[in-house]
Structure 1
Amino acid sequence: MNALLKSATIVDSKSDFHNQVVDILIERGVITKISKRISNPNNYQEIKLDNLHVSQGWFDSSVSFGEPGYEERETLANGLKVAAISGFTSLALNPNTNPVLDSNADISYVLSKANANAVTLKPIGALTKSSEGTDLAELYDMSSAGAVAFYDYKKPIDNPNLLKIALLYASNFNGLVLSFPQENKIAGKGVMNEDINSTNLGLKGIPSLAEELQVARDLFLLEYTGGKLHIPTISSAKSVELIRAAKAKKLDITCSVAIHNICFTDDKLLDFNSNFKVMPPLRTENDRVALIEGLKDGTIDMVTSDHNPIDIEHKKVEFDHAAYGTIGLESALGALQQLFSTKKAVGFLTKGKERFGVKSYIISEGEIANLTLFNPDTKYNFSIPEIRSTSKNSCFLDSELKGKAYGIIANNKIEIR
């Protein structure tokens, strides 16, 4: 693949060309020249886009598709296409398929389906067999096949001894264990955050205590085992405090926050819109502000879209019975730029790679081209026509967003909307 990017503003603080408007020559997938003006004697494909900005490729640590088993929600082929035009050059794929990705063969299957794609797919294997929380899955075999972490998606590990054993066992091969932060006995049958809004709406609530107890437990287990733990999608102020204290102890802990949890509060549920029914639930303004502060000071290591396509039959139903989840790949940049500068937003979208075994490439001559192309200044209403995902369950529908990806250049391929 050969291409010439014209008049591109580089957003990469590690590059010598940061904040400069330049031409970028790419030959056979490698950046061979960066200069103010580059001629095109070999008649390579020229990419000229309005207000073109280029950064290191973006990464998402929590993406669900559907295939195998739930192709009506999303296929791997279309999901990877959506990720590419949303600006993501790599993603970690959750194992919540049917069957659950809990074996060497399952990991090999999704990798083969994603082979030769512009987007690099990093599969997460189930932590327990069939994600049932009873017996550990084949962690080492899945790691050998290419799994980058182990997680029962959105399912807490109720048995603390099982998580202890998982942390100890995975440490033998530097495996990363993920633990969903919820104590189910406290959460009960709640469907939203427990607070004044749940009372007013007459809906059962999930107190933030359910998350915080589990986070505290998991951190004690991590300190005991000396393992390697990632807590996905925290949502409460107290969770931020607990993880901040654990990092001060030098524990091997990282965590993420879903973009919708820093953009919205449980006020969004006042009209029973099931697109805002997510897990963990949207919480209070105090929690939202604490999460943003956690991102700013580095307590929270990365953001995720927590992209989870849900078909209309499971979303457009009575709120109590609606499935949890929202899509988020296509709105990620636009949502983040409602809260942060372009530099900070891009910084958050490029963090977390090392934790999940994804290599970073600086925008520099001689480096492999792993680039996201975007316009940070486009303002638009996020509506159904903007969505290429098969499922349309976005909590950002009808939101005014700022910034849109054009696509990516990665794995010696160009993928532009």
Structure 2
Amino acid sequence: MTAPFDAIDVIRAKRDGVVLSAEQIRWVIGAYTGGQVPDEQMSALLMAVFFRGMTPEELAVWTQAMIDSGVRKDLSGLGRPTADKHSTGGVGDKVTLPLAPLVAACGVAVPQLSGRGLGHTGGTLDKLEAVPGWRAALSDEEYVSQLRDVGAVICAAGNDLAPADKVLYALRDVTGTVESIPLIASSIMSKKIAEGADALVLDVKTGSGAFMRDPDDARTLARTMVGLGEAAGVRTVALVTAMDRPLGRAAGNAVEVAESVEVLAGGGPADVVELTLALAREMLAGVGRDDVDPADALADGRAMDVWRRMIAAQGGDPDAALPQPAERHVVTAPATGTLTRLDAYALGVAAWRLGAGRARKEDPVSAAAGVVWTAGVGEQVTAGQPLLELQTDDAARIPRALEALEGAIGVDTADEPLPLVLDRITA
């Protein structure tokens, strides 16, 4: 059968700034996913999109075509509203761990399909795998059953959600077309919309440790993703939040689980608690449950109860001891005064080099590796006090981690930290 379009014509049109028709877009996504359009032609189209961009209408169709390459889950039978959260990734960003059980404790189901870390940013599944016995892979039946019984699930996405994104992302990764806001937005939102939640809250990070370092770029990405969510019938809001310094007091895998449990127990670092509650309130408001205060569910232990049930439902032991590192190395404060810089990117790279992250998707990670720190930006430190502790299974990794931290710590410098929440973006 003759194809309704020619890939070269689609490439030329986008190259020359012509707005693609909905039919052209749906055809090229389907044909590439099905193997009828080769990599070299799709690479050319992606580069044309990189330079020419897409109109909101083009991008909505492009995203919907990616969703339509797989299934869109139907969670309407759960008997309760559903809300999800997506973070664009950062250092020490363990918020998903306390957030999912917290929102579930307030009567809203949370279908959280998460990923793994790559480079200096951590991955939620890697963190949870530090819990002995916990497993990321669930069947569809287990997934729905856990949502119904527990109210929260954090697991790996199956291959049936937006399979077009998997092949397109791999191609973008090797063709220099990753850093395109339309392509980033469609990649994230195709998977999130396909999850089937009623409402979605986006945590778009900005600063040195974020993918979008510039706040204006982060706002543009946030507005683009909110528009895509709303166009697909999902109530969507975005918070633009700080990632110029790491979140909390720990970056790694087991160390971030431990900190998340502290938050669920009513303690934990103030910034993690503040951001967790801010996102929880947005998720609840998105499904009309803004009459519920999530702070109450933290205080009375309901969120902790859901956490324990969620971990146990996926084979984990919530009472088991977390892995401990074989080697520790302390870095002291260089001067007395106010800690004005604790660079998120540098700490993320240090944790990665200690074994907490991976350079390639197939690399293993160490559950026990990471960095913990005793003071955050804005706090007072004394010269010579222990400030950072590097944790690893392999002492040979420490020197390169220390190299990553050169210049990362500043006391009484002119650095001005970003506010924790810079902006709130709605449709």
The TM tier, using the shorter chain, reads under 0.3
- Higher helix proportion: 2
TM-score (norm 2): 0.26
- Higher strand proportion: 1
